[in-house]
């Protein structure tokens, strides 16, 4: 990305702030976007852009397009799965960023009075749901971890990202940037702040048994000139 800031300030600090009754650990923290991010996704050469009609899709605050997770963590039990949705409204995918566990199902309901055609060419999941009208829903199940970039064949400005993980130790920060990861096995991990425009930013953190670790994360994102 042109003009990106360095990553030196990503991990501001970490400290054990209190004991818990559980042998598992907790991470509580805060994410700051250190410079403004525009509310449009990166351009893609998946297919040639086409002229489209007016659309007035409202973007979520950029902090809601961040995913915080533990990189390479191993879940000891049967991986829980979810049933989530990415809506198509006003020629926009809502939410634009979704995080799920491997094996989860994602619905794509069409709430627009036009046809949509949701597809992806991603290595983690390749699919084409075909054209379908308002009021219909089509679904996918994500069978392996990775990043699934989603587009619409009909409206080239539409894009979304599905981050598929092999464990449930992830979250999307609240509007004020706060986040909380719970039921963590003790150990040393890389904690990741991920944003669709800059990818992963990593730092090392230790999770102590029965303790809560505090961390401040800063994602160095910069506007295009």
How confident is the model over 3-15, as pLDDT tens digits?
433 333 344 444 4
Q: Do the Cβ atoms of 175 and 61 come closer than 8 Å? A: yes
How large a percentage of the chain has pLDDT more than 90? 66
Beta strand ranges found along the chain (DSSP E): 11-19, 25-33, 66-71, 83-85, 87-89, 92-94, 97-101, 105-109, 116-121, 126-132, 137-141, 146-152, 159-165, 170-171, 178-184, 187-195, 199-207, 211-219
For domain 75-168, give the CATH number.
2.60.40.420
Q: Answer with the residue of higher pLDDT: 103 or 15.
A: 103
For 153-167, the pLDDT digits (tens) are 999 999 999 999 999
For the chain, give every domain's residue range.
1-45+53-73+169-225, 75-168
Instruction: Answer yes or no: pTM beyond 0.85.
Output: no
Q: What is the pLDDT of residue 145?
A: 97
Q: What is the pLDDT of residue 171?
A: 98
Q: What is the pLDDT of residue 36?
A: 53
What's the chain's average pLDDT? 84
Res. 133: pLDDT tops 70: yes
C-alpha–C-alpha distance, residues 201 and 181, integer Å: 17
Q: Answer with the residue of higher pLDDT: 126 or 77.
A: 126
Q: Answer with the residue of higher pLDDT: 102 or 218.
A: 102
CATH 2.60.40.1120 at 1-45+53-73+169-225, yes or no = yes
C-alpha–C-alpha distance, residues 107 and 158, integer Å: 16
């Amino acid at each position: 990305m042109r003009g990106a800031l360095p990553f030196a300030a990503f991990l501001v600090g970490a400290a054990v702030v209190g004991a818990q009754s559980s042998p598992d650990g907790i991470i509580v923290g805060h994410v700051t976007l250190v410079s403004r991010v525009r509310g449009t996704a990166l351009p893609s050469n998946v297919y040639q852009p086409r002229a489209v009609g007016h659309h007035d899709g409202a973007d979520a605050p950029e902090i809601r397009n961040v995913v915080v997770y533990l990189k390479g963590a191993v879940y000891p039990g049967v991986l829980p799965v979810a049933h989530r949705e990415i809506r198509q409204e006003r020629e926009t995918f809502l939410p634009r960023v979704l995080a799920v566990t491997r094996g989860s199902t994602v619905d794509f309901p069409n709430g627009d009075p036009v046809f949509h055609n949701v597809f992806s060419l991603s290595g983690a999941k390749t699919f084409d749901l075909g054209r379908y009208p308002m009021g219909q829903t089509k679904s996918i199940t994500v069978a392996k971890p990775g990043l699934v970039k989603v587009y619409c064949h009909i409206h080239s400005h539409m894009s979304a990202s599905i981050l598929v993980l092999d464990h449930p130790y992830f979250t999307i920060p609240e509007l004020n940037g706060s986040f909380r990861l719970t039921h963590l096995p003790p150990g040393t991990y890389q904690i990741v702040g991920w944003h669709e425009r800059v990818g992963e930013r990593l730092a090392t953190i230790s999770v102590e048994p029965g303790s809560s670790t505090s961390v401040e994360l800063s994602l160095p994102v910069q506007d295009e000139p």
